[in-house]
Each structure stands twice: as C-alpha cells, then as structure tokens.
Amino acid sequence: MMNSMNDLLEELKKLFGNFEVQEIDEREVKIDVESDKVVGILTTLKSKGYSHLSLLTCVDWINENKFELIYILYSWQNGCKFIVATWIERKNPKFVTVMNLWPVARFYEREIHEFFGVEFEGNDDMKPLILELWDDIPPLRKDFDPLEYSKKKFPGRQYDKDVIQEALIFRGDKNG
Amino acid sequence: MGEVKLFFGPNHPGMHGNFSVHLYVEGDTVVKAKPLPGFLHRGFEKLMERRTWFQNVALIPRICVPEPDINEVCYSMAIEKIAKIDVPERAQWIRMIVLELARIANHLWSFAGIGGPLGLYTGPFWGVADRDRILDIFEQLTGARIYHMYIIPGGVRKEMPSKIQDMISQTLDYIESRLPDYENLILRNRIVQTRLKGIALLDRESALTMGVTGIGLRATGVPYDLRKVDPYLYYNYVDFEVPTATEGDAYSRIKLKYLEIKQSIRIIRQVLEKMPEGPINTKFSDGNALRYRVPKGYAYVHVEATRGEYGYFVVSNGEDKPYRVTVRGASYPQGLYGIEKYLPGTRIEDVPIWLDTMGVCAPEIDR
Amino acid sequence: MEKSFFAPVKAWKFLFEKPVTIKVPKEKRKASERYRGFHINDWDKCIGCGTCSKVCPTDAIQMVEVPVLEKKFGEKPQRPSIDYGRCSFCAMCVDICTTGSLQMTREYVHLSSQPEAFIFVPTEKGIKNVENVEIGWIKDEDSELLELERVEMEMIEAEERVKSFIEYVKGYSKEQAIHEAARCVECGICTDRCPEHMDIPEYIKSIWLDDLEEGLRWLYKTNPLSSVCGRVCTHRCEEVCAISNRGEAVAIRWLKRYIVDNVPSEDYMKILNFNPKPKEERIAIVGSGPAGLSAAYFLATMGYKVDIFESLAKPGGVMRYGIPRYRLPDEALDKDIALIQALGVRIFTNTTIGKDIKLEELKEKYDAIFVSTGFTLGRSTGVPGTDHPKVVQALPLLKDIRDYLRGEAPKPEIPETLVVIGGGNVAMDVARSVARLQKMEYGKVNVKLACLERNFEEMPADMEEIIEGKEEGVEFYPGWGPIRIMIEKDEIKGVEFQKCLEVFDSDGKFNPKFDANNKMILQGDMVVEAIGQAPDYSYLPEEIKSKLQFIRGRILTNEYRQTDIPWLFAGGDIVNGPDIIHGVADGYWAARGIDDYLSSKERS
C-alpha cells in the first residue's frame, strides 16, 4: 500500500473509529465501514483528492441476508483507489444518497434501485432506468432466475430437422 | 411557441446505437432532455454470474461493439489481480497491441460517426473502409473480426501468427498515410469547423464534477489518461503523449481523436520493437476450463478506453463462477447525467454532436 | 488547424481510384488461417464425451444419439449438434475437445431464410458437405483448455520401499486431490466402463467441491470396498478416461482412496445413514472375498440377515491373503469389513463349507445362498521337476508371507535366489514380496521373472507393476517358456527355458510356439509358479453340481448371478473374474437378484 494511502487510513480511523482494511494491491484498498459513517468517510476521501467516483454498485449476499454497497473512489493525482464498502439489511434495504457529493450518483442509485430494490433517501428520482414493463423481483438479486423467467415469458422453439440423417448422408454412411 | 416533446432516437441517423433521448423543445432549442437507455439491455452482469469464469470470455466482448477488447482486458486483469497471477510479459505486450489497434479502429469509426450528423458522407465511407484494415489484422491475429475472444485471464489465447508484425507495420504505415486525408476532409473542412467549434461545450469544472473521463475531459485541458496516471500493462515502458485541448467543444474532441491515432501508432511501433519472445499465457487456476476457480476476493480494474475510464468490478467467492461483476461503462456520466444537464440550451441539431463527440455508447450504459 | 475551403476538395483525388470493396458473391475473400468459421468433426476420432457441449457458453451444442454407431467401451454413441443461431464462434469447444476431433473452418458465410437450416451435426465435411474443407482455428498447446498432466502421486523411492512392506503409495493431500479432481470433464465414459458402474464423475466432483461426505455417499452407493478399490482396483475406468485420449487419465483410483482415507471410519455410519427396513429372510454367503462381502453389504442395506462363512482365519479372501501388504495394508481392508459388520452381517471364520457344514445343511437354515469361493487352487506348468517341494505355488506363498507379516505364522523360507514363472499381477506380487524379504534378510534382491509373453505390453500384469518391480530390482525375462526344473542332489539349481515365439495362434487361442534351439538357464534355489489359478468346487454336492452348468470352469448364471438352481447364486472369480471390482459388481447384482427372488417367492 502506498504511504499516502496508509496515512489517510490512519486519519480516517482517527476520525471515524476503526474499520476493516483489505489491501488488494499497491494502489487499491477496500475498506468495510459501518453504514452511518459512509457519507462522512466518502466526504473526507473526496476532499483528500479521491474526488472521482468511478463506480457505485451493489452486491447481493443472499446467504448473509445483506446487500453490500460499493463506492469506488479514484484519485487522479496518484492513481490510487479506495473501495468503500458497507453492508445493509437485505430486507427493506434503505440507504442515503450521495448525489450531493457526485451528481452522477443519481443514476447509479436509480440503477441499483431498479436491479436490487435498494431505496436511496434523498434521491427523488427512483423511476426505472433500464427495464421496461418489468414484472418480477429486481433482477440482479440472487434469487431471481433469468432462465425460469425467460421460459415463462417466451415460447420455446422446436426444430424438426433430422440432423443425424443429414450428417450420415454427408459422411456417405447413408444414401441421400 | 409552445413546448414540444421530441423523441430523439432510437431510430435516428444521428444516433449511434439504440439509445433514445426525450427532448422538450421550444422552436429548435432544447429546454429539457431526458436520457432513455435500456434498448440494448441484455443483462450481461446477471449472465456473467451464471457462466463459468472462462465461458464469460465469449460473453463480455459483446458489451461494447466498437471496442470489445477493453472488456476482455479488464475482465482478465481483474481475475489476475484477485488470483494474484503473474502474466507472461509477451502476453501483456500483445494485449497492448490489441488495445491500441482497437483504439485506432474506434477513432476511425467515430470519424464515420460524425459524418451522420454533419451530412459529410465521405467520412463514413473512409472511416469504415480503413477500420476494416485493422479488422483484417484482428482476423489474422485472433481468428475473428469483431468479437475477438482473444485476451483471456492469464494471457492471450494463441501466439501471434508469423508475419503478423509486417502486416501490422504496413497497416500502420497506410493509416498514417491516410491521416492527411482525414485532416483535409474533416478537421480543416470549413463547414466542419464552423459547425463544430464552440458547440457542445463542456467546461473543466463541470466535467470533473460530473465524473467525465477520457477525451471529454481532456478537451477541457485536463491531461488525465489512465495509461499515464495508473499505468497498466507496459504503458509506462513506451513513450507517448496525451493530447489535450482547452476549448472543451466538439471540434477539439474530434481533433483529439485524430491526434490520439498518431499516438497509438507510435505506441504500437514501440511495442513491436520491444516485445520479448516467451510464453503467452499461464493458467490462472487448476484443472480444465470447466473447473477454473478464482479465490475469494474483490478487484476493480479500469483502462483508458476511447470514451474514458472503462472498468470492471469483480467479486469472487471462490467458486467456479463470478459472484458479481459490474461493468463501468465509460459513457455513463456523460450519457446520462451529462445529457440531462448540458443539452438544455443547445439546439436540436447539436444533440447528436454531443452524443458522438462525447462518446455516448448505448450498449455499455445498458449492459 | 487552419480552416480551408479547398482542403476537402483534395478528396477528389480518389475519383479515379479503384473501389476498396469487393463484389460479393462474385469475388470471394479468403478468411485468415485461424479464422473461427463453422465446425468440422472427425467422427472416427470423436468419442461423444460431450465436453464441447458443457463448455459452450451459449448452449449451442447438444449431444444427439446416433443409433447406427456401435456401442463400445470408451465411447458414447452420440455426436454434437450445433445450433448456429446460438453459436458465438468462440472455439472453446475446439480448445477443450478431449480427442481433438473438433476444428473450425475458414468459411465466412452461411445463408438461409429457414431457421431450421442453422442446425447441423458437423462431420468431416463440415456443415456444407465439402471435401477437404479448409481448416481455420485449431487447438494448440497455448489454447488448450484441458489439463493433460496428472497430479503426480508421491511414492516412497524404490530403494527405500523395498526394505519393508510399508504401503509405498502415499495418497493425495487435500490440495493435490482437489487439483486432480479439477481435471475431470464429467463425461461419465468411465462409469460405463466400470463393471460396477460407480458414479465416478459424481464423487470426483464432490472432491472438487471439498465435500467428502457427499463423496463417501456416492462411493457407498455402489461399492462397499472403496478403501480396497481405492488402492488395488485394476481401474478399467482410467483406461477409457476421455482425458487419456490426449493426456494422462484422471487418477480415479487415487481419488477414491483420498475420500475413504480422509473420512474418519467412526463417522461412516452417521454419514451414510443406512435405514433399512428389517426383513425376515436369511441369506448365507460362502466365501468372504470381494464378491461375498459386496453381496453381504447390499443385502444388509436392503434389510436382510446375512451370514458369511469363511474357511480361513480372517475374512477378505484374496484381499487378505493374496495381494501383498505394501499395496493393500490390512487396516484398509479392516475398515471396509468393519462397516459391513456394523450393518449386522455376521462373519464365521475358520468354517469350511462342505467340511464343517454341508451345503445342504446351509440350505435348510437359509432362504438363499450366494457362493463366491474364488480361484484357490494353483496351476502348475507341469514341466519335469515341478513336484519338488521347493517348487511352490504363488497363492500359498503369498498367504504365508502375509500371515508372517501379521505375526500369525513363522517366517517362511526365504530363498537367496528365486525364479518366478508367470507374467500376471500375481507373479508380480510374488516377485516383489520376495524381493522385500530378501532385502530384509540378505540385504540384496535376486528375483528373476520369466513369462511366455514376449514383451511388457503383452504381459497381463499392469505396466506400473512391471516398472515398479524393475525399480525394486526384479529382473524380467519376457518371452521364455520353462522346459524343466534343474535339480542336482535334490537341490534346485535353476530353470531351463526355451524361447517363446508366439503365445496365441491366429484364432487368438492360447497355443504357444517355441524355438527349441534357443535356450536359456535362470539360476535359482527356489521356483514359484504363478501362471493362474483354478476353482475348487469340492464343497458342492454331486447332486447340486449336476444341475449347474459350467463354462470353462466357471459357473453359468443369469445377469442377476442366479444359477440354474433358483436359491443358489454365485459370483466372483467362479463366475466372472478377473478382479476385485468385477467381484463387487457380482455381489451387487446377486443382491438384487436375491431380493427379487425372495420377494417374488413371498408373493407366490
């Protein structure tokens, strides 16, 4: 881990208490923080140069009954990234918006709402973004089975061509 | 005159890809714009969770049609990062060739793309024809023209065929010889200049706030390029410049694309010279491809695509399939937030120019 | 850049240039040398393993039964059909193909307005019936998606292992086993080949998922002697393993051993969770070899009361008294037998049927009888001198050695120099066992092995046995037939051989031909004959014997191992042979047969 990242982590820990740190490589660190500290930590990181929100996404840990929200912050100054993660309840998932920090987050949050069902308080636009006339549970949840859905929705197709017969004729095992 | 709602796209000559914008216009001035993505949603992220690590190699290039290789590189590098695999040197150099060729091809194509909204139809013909020369290289190198499925976790699939180096050099020479033609046809063209200069403006502050990356950002004077700031592969072993402009308009963005082609040619020539002999891949897991596994872990990998930062966030829980993959389409900020924020006030005919020069790519937004 | 009115006009210079496009379909373009076009499949190479269809990311490949294909071991009568409406032209099927039969062509175009016209079963002529179609993408070493090399099994070095009877195959560690299991492609061709049709892909997958309890359940579904078979099975499965077409077969036997070695025996009953409904009928089993134990296990899990009668002091038959300890330690066998006993099976040792209890008496007490008495009598070459007391048979010698090692018998006489006659696994067992005793007693090995078969490939013994025996100092003389035992002053001096030119005649019958002018003498002060065994039917009363049919010394049964006498079932060497796993299979089918017989009897 780069020294500057380490220093920043120490500072964050002083401000927000301890949290779990996982070093992914020299310039990438994942931190797992408590939900109520996320906005504070993100704000601090943003002010320290990690101002670019590369990605906001969500992981469904169905066995743990949790969602993991992921904020990836990138610094153009030193090329380092912080993956800030927080776990929220899978039932009635709610979190706060960060669109005041990064306006584009509005769309990421809209998408997460659509695909996982997480509500973001403070984000007034929670209309579906990608899907049209969706009639099932949010589809990126682990308990959604796309194959089943597609079988239910779309008719299968039956082919009548006798492929073996054709192959045998090609091979000369049979006369056409 | 009252406000009129105009459905711009998904079928519109100026719209590339199945993307739609709902424009509220007064006269020909846009009052409000709502991006409407989703026409190309194929559920890639879900599909990836249901295929094995290796099977996904066939799936991911399809997320981005003009530049599929960035998907393969990001996906592979993310796996290599989680599994802590050292990729053979030669493979990394080959990857650089592929990436830079793809960049040239994509920029050529976007010369074609700008022809649509401008009514300059020689551009499309030239752009597509010259891009085909690069696709010929891809066909020789990878076995396919568009979806190469060549870069795999651990390296690349096959050694470069003999004589491909000559072919690449010749093609680069040819493309280089064509650049003055493009300069004459597009960049020095009086109509193009009049039409594009000062249009689709984006200032530096807004670009940074919005999270715009790539050419859209560099056209405002910010020299951020991931190949320089966060060098992956062997980009720190080759000399190249990051062209920037300060105008922040459509014309400067087109010009940067043109200048980037030159840099890419320069990079590939160095790569051909510098790349060592040696193995071209290593296994990232035990066993056969049906049973490859990646240890538990998270990784985010991004590369500089033609449209900016293109990234893959990969989560593995140690099984034979990815637990979660998120794709960060480079055009997400400018294609969604940007449209909403910056199109109002412009004129209808400038809308496709924003979409084209900012590089709004529908499939990577929809996924 | 300078704005210019005339700059674009320069494009006019292309006015008289030739177009860069080509006129399709008049002009044809050649695809690149590694283009991924359509498929061709060499049907003679293809084994129908279906790995292509498993790796296909788009589900474009389905395996289709081909009724005209001949059914044989190592193949499935099916070939891949490809739906080009789904195919993504990734060539993963080519890169993973176990035989290399799939390749792709350099064809660009296939056009049709009919959806039906996009499904093909590719042949050697591709999908378009073209002779010598140009080949594009093929597999090479770099694009290989299989792992062709086996995880090496650690063994004690020859110099070290020949000093004792310690089991020299160490067994896989967890990492090694999971790695080896990851090489399997789950084709199931092994299952078809296994006489007992064990669920091999399933238990290998359990190892890969590190779920040994599940693996154990798969093993015991079909094989109660997994601990034994995991060590000494003749592994027919590995001979047909799809991976072995181009690489080394998956180490199925060692993987099986890994499961049984790594689940504590005290947990077996809990994991396997037998819950049979007790039945009233009683079944007697004669002989506690592989077939007998197997039948007992399956009958007991069905709820029957089973008693086994064994004439020797310990149960296990050939597993206890034949196979040497360095390959199969007593503990491994005891583990399997303990489980069978835990199911309520009673084993009466030192009880010889026909002597201590008559078969007729047994019939009175039991509802059905399963006989699996094995091949216990040695065969002799019959050459002059074989009646000398120091010309011995393999099986009694092996038994003496094992009893000695268990501390249940005195040390057998260890010859300083030994000549073994025979080229099968039993001959190997003798040679390698005596080599160990010699090393322990005299510090050096002097064992010579001669057989009719002219080379190692022809010899019926497993190649690894030959190689390992060689490493341990056994000298091999293939291609020699004995003429006489050389005896001087009542002492054995050696054996005289003549060159064997041919073992089998053109009809494939055993009919050796010799060159009487080409002779050789191997010196030795003891000779072991290990040229095969024969059954001993003396326990069968004449009345019963007369009702049975015998074919070349073996009892004829139906597929449920039922003899012509309905209550008498038979299995093992006296029915099928030649190895343990066939015995286990016999036990399994006999158990089903006995169950059928008894249930139908009940009904009638």
pLDDT digits (tens, 9 = 90+) for B306-320: 888 899 999 999 889
Task: Assess whether pLDDT exceeds 70 at residue B13.
Answer: no
Q: What is the pLDDT of residues B38-79, one digit of tens each?
A: 888 888 999 999 999 999 999 898 888 888 899 999 999 999
Residue C430 and residue C397 in contact, taking contact as beta carbons nearer than 8 Å: yes
Mean pLDDT of chain A: 86
Q: How far apart are CA A75 and CA B69, in angstroms?
A: 25
* CATH number of the domain located at residue range(s) C380-531 in this protein: 3.50.50.60
Q: Which chain B residue has the Cα nearest residue C143? A: B157
Which secondary-structure segment (H or E) carries B79? helix B69-83
**Cβ-based neighbour number of residue B196 at 10 Å:** 25
Task: Say yes or no for a CB contact (<8 Å) between C32 and B139.
Answer: yes
The residue ranges of every structural domain in chain C are 31-144, 158-271, 274-376+538-603, 380-531
Question: CB distance C57–B55 less than 8 Å?
Answer: yes
CATH number at residue B302: 1.10.645.10
Torsion of CA C272, C278, C282, C285, to 10 degrees: 0
Type of residue at B330: A
pLDDT tens, residue by residue, B259-301: 999 999 999 999 999 889 889 999 888 889 899 999 999 999 9
Chain C residue whose CA is closest to B279: C142
State how far the Cα of C308 lies from the Cα of C322, in Å rounded to an integer.
19
How far apart CA B356 and CA B254 sit, in angstroms, is 9
Secondary structure class of B69 (helix, strand, coil): helix
Look up residue C272 and give its two tokens. Answer: 């396997």
C-alpha C336/C-alpha C230 separation (Å) is 11
Q: Is the peptide bond before C25 cis (omega within 30 degrees of 0)?
A: yes
| DSSP count for chain B of H helices, then E strands | 15, 8
* Residues 131-170 of chain A whose Cβ lies under 8 A from any Cβ of chain C: 157, 159-161, 163-164, 166-168, 170
In C359-509 the beta strands, taken as DSSP E runs, fall at: 368-371, 375-378, 391-393, 418-421, 447-451, 475-478, 480-488, 491-504
Residue of A158, A165, A170 for testing the chain C interface, max C β-carbons within 10 Å: A170
Digit-coded pLDDT (tens) for B98-156: 999 999 998 888 888 787 778 788 888 888 889 999 999 999 999 888 899 999 999 99
Contacts of B315 (CB under 8 A, 6+ apart): A59, B297, B298, B322, B323, B324, B325
Quote the minimal CA–CA distance from C498 to chain B in Å: 50
C342, burial (CB in 10 Å: exposed 0-12, middle 13-18, buried 19+): middle
Query: How large is the average pLDDT for residues C254-260?
Result: 90
Q: Which of B147, B184, B285 sits opposite C8 (nearest CB)?
A: B184
Per-residue pLDDT for C285 more than 70?
yes
Q: How far apart are CA C191 and CA C199, in angstroms?
A: 6
CA distances from C416 to B1, C145, C423, C446, C447 (A): 117, 53, 21, 7, 9
C-alpha span between C23 and C7 (Å, rounded): 31
Distance from CA of A95 to the nearest CA of B (A): 20
- State how far the Cα of B325 lies from the Cα of B315, in Å rounded to an integer: 6
SS3 category, A68: strand
pLDDT of C603 over the 60 cut: no
Give the pLDDT confidence score for residue B360 in this predicted structure.
Answer: 79
**Residue in C66, C124, C129 nearest the CB of A164:** C66
* Residue type at position B63: I
Q: Which among B37, B46, B313 has the least Cβ separation from residue A70?
A: B313
**HSE value, Cβ hemisphere, 13 Å, CA-based, for C236:** 16
Residues of C in contact with B56 (CB under 8 A): 57
pLDDT given for residue C264 in this prediction? 86
* Residues in CB range of A111: below 8 A, 6 or more apart: A129, A130
The CATH number that domain C31-144 falls under is: 3.30.70.3270
Between residues 30 and 59 of chain C, which touch chain B (CB distance below 8 Å)? 31-36, 51, 54-58
Of C337, C129, C301, C154, the C-alpha closest to C228 is C337
Q: B264 lies in which domain range?
A: 4-366
- Mean pLDDT of the B233-242 span: 89
Q: Is-same-fold flag (C158-271; C274-376+538-603)?
A: no
Closest in A52, A70, A139 to B43, CB measured: A139
B258: tokens are 């043109």
> Which pTM value belongs to this model?
0.85
C-interface mutation test, from B157, B168, B186, most C Cβ less than 10 A away: B157
Domains of chain A (ranges; CATH) run 3-144 (3.30.460.80)
Strand partners, C273: none
Residues B233, B73: Cα–Cα separation, whole Å: 10
CATH code, C274-376+538-603: 3.50.50.60
Between the alpha carbon of residue B215 and those of residues B32, B223, B306, the distances in Å are 25, 9, 7
Give the type of residue at A28: E
Total domains present in chain B: 1
Yes or no: is domain C158-271 CATH 3.90.79.10? no
Binary contact (C57, B293; C-beta < 8 A) = no
Q: Minimal Cα distance from B278: which residue of C?
A: C142
Under an 8 A CB cutoff, do A171 and C124 touch?
Answer: yes
Inter-chain touch B188–C1, beta carbons under 8 Å: yes
B240 pLDDT above the threshold of 70: yes
Q: Is the pLDDT of residue C213 over 60?
A: yes
Our CA-based measurement puts residue A62 at a distance from the nearest CA of chain B, in whole angstroms, of 11
Is it the case that residue C7 has pLDDT exceeding 80?
no
| pLDDT tens figures, C349-401 | 888 888 888 888 888 888 888 988 888 888 888 888 888 888 888 888 888 88
